[in-house]
Chains A and B, each alone.
Chain A
Amino acid sequence: MSAPSPRILPFLAVGLIATAFGLVFFYAPLEADQGFIQKIFYLHVPLAITALVGFMLAAVHAIIHLRTGDPIHDARAYVSIHMSVIFGVAVLLTGAIWARASWGKWWVWDEPTLVSFLIVFLLYATYYPLRYAIVERDRQARYASVFAITAGAFVPLNFIAVRLAEPLIHPRTLGAANGGLPAEMMFTFLVSLAGMGLLWVTLVRFELAAKASRGHLKRLRRNLLDPDQDAIATRGLGGRIEPLIEAERA
């Protein structure tokens, strides 16, 4: 997660999503079987793929965190999971709307993709109670990483198990079962996917930046109130803090 500067990232994401919606409504053909409601596919599936990829990225960051002990990777794993859980809520909502429109029910229990996504979502929802039940900072980060790795391995296994156990009625989006998607649909889908992915990256970067500046602010405030207390912690800030303290004293 480096490349483009955070300043243009949101514009890129918004632009791409706007393009995707334009394509969805004016370019992609109407699906013969389901009609207009099928267009939710371009929102639902990219959201789901982005959320799952986000969970996997969290596992990668967690592995790097355990190997290096660098807290930035713990923060990245945390924010990735956080953002993917939020995307997961959107996936469940859009999925329910689509299911209601095309199958007549809000939720279908004998449908492997729905059930496995719900289980994955519920598992990641327990990340928060685990994380905040551990007081000590280092241990909290380590345990959260272990959770992220375990859950990351769990995601594909869960999909295999649930899929083997149930019949298939959920559309196999990218499978060859229906001979795949027509080219226009595929193109629109890929643009939507890129847009959602970029939105995820943008939001993750914003949250990381917010977390970093909140930490920074806390440190500054602590120093202002009690400058002697942790001189060591502020050494990295250079001279910037001194004028503030001088002003406070005067």
Chain B
Amino acid sequence: MNPELRRRTPTLRAARVILAKDLRIELRTLQSLSAMLLFSLTTFVLFRYGLDRTSLEGSLASGVLLMTILFAAVLGIGRLFVAEREQGGFDAFALAPIDGSALFYAKVTAQLIYLAILEAFALPVFAVLFLSDWSGLGALTAVLALLNLGLALIGTIVSVMATNSRARDLLTPLLLLPLLVPLMISAASAAAPLLDADGPSFAEFPKWLALLGLYDLIFGLIGWAVFDYLIED
């Protein structure tokens, strides 16, 4: 191996540093998170008012929850690389002796943390506003965890492409929504029986969880394999 390469910063350490930087920026500005939380709250209120029901169940409940999370996630994904673009982070990254995947790991983790915070807030609000039976919520967190991973992986790939294009914010939802269709179908199919009026049912739960996991695995591998090509200049 070439001695230049051996002097590189270990990827995981670099990823930790980038992640810490992102979280610090987010903590100081609260730009993405506050928007995501506020958006989810507003959407729930709109649904509550628009649907005019005291409680939701089954596919309608899972649809309301997952659509809200999806669109709140799109807000966060759109801003994932804004600091890099505006303050020359991509150039600095190209100059630094670190592997491209460090940025990928850091951004996926950052997005995972934002989504977890979003759901820690949105799920109780959703339960209070719409659910009469809370017994399915435990299993629902497993669905949401796998959904979050898929959102973060695909979101990171799409976000870096959109950020470096002319159309920017326009492209993120345009590319993201069709790519997320199988993920959303699996998550909705897994979540709907959990929110049934007469208690959660688990008949098809493993099948959908497996499909969510497969989706995460495949796009994780793709993201890891192609990310270098997205940031090189």
- What residues of chain A have their CB less than 8 Å away from a CB belonging to chain B? 66, 119, 122-123, 126, 129-130, 133-135, 139, 142-143, 145-147, 149-151, 153-154, 157-158, 160-162, 164-165
Contact = CB atoms under 8 A, between A and B. Distances in A.
B165 A142 contact: no
B178 interface: yes
Interface string B146-185: 0000000010010001001111101100110011011101
B215 A146 contact: no
B178 A146 contact: no
Given A123-B178, A126-B174, A146-B229, A161 B222 contact: no
B189 interface: yes
B227 to A, nearest CB: 9
Interface of B: 154, 157, 161, 164-168, 170-171, 174-175, 178-179, 181-183, 185-186, 189, 207-208, 211, 214-215, 218-219, 222, 226, 229-230, 232-233
Contacts of B161: 130, 143, 146-147
Contacts of A142: 229-230, 232
Contacts of B175: 126, 130, 147
Closest CB pairs A-B (n = 4): A161-B182, A123-B178, A133-B167, A133-B165
Contacts of A126: 171, 174-175, 178
Contact of A145 (B170, B189, B214, B229): B229
B171 A130 contact: yes
Nearest to B233: A139
B218 A157 contact: yes
A161 B211 contact: yes
Contacts of B232: 142
A65 to B, nearest CB: 10
B120 to A, nearest CB: 27
A162 B186 CA distance: 9
B226 A146 contact: yes
B185 A134 contact: no
A53 B186 CA distance: 25
Contact of B165 (A143, A149, A151, A157): A143
Contacts of B189: 164-165
Given A66-B226, A129-B171, A143-B230, A154 B166 contact: no
B219 A162 contact: no
A139 B231 CA distance: 9
Contacts of B211: 160-161, 164
Contacts of B226: 66, 146, 149-150
Contacts of A162: 181-182, 185
Contacts of A150: 154, 157, 179, 219, 222, 226
B182 A160 contact: yes
Given A161-B185, A164-B211, A134 B165 contact: yes
Nearest to A135: B166
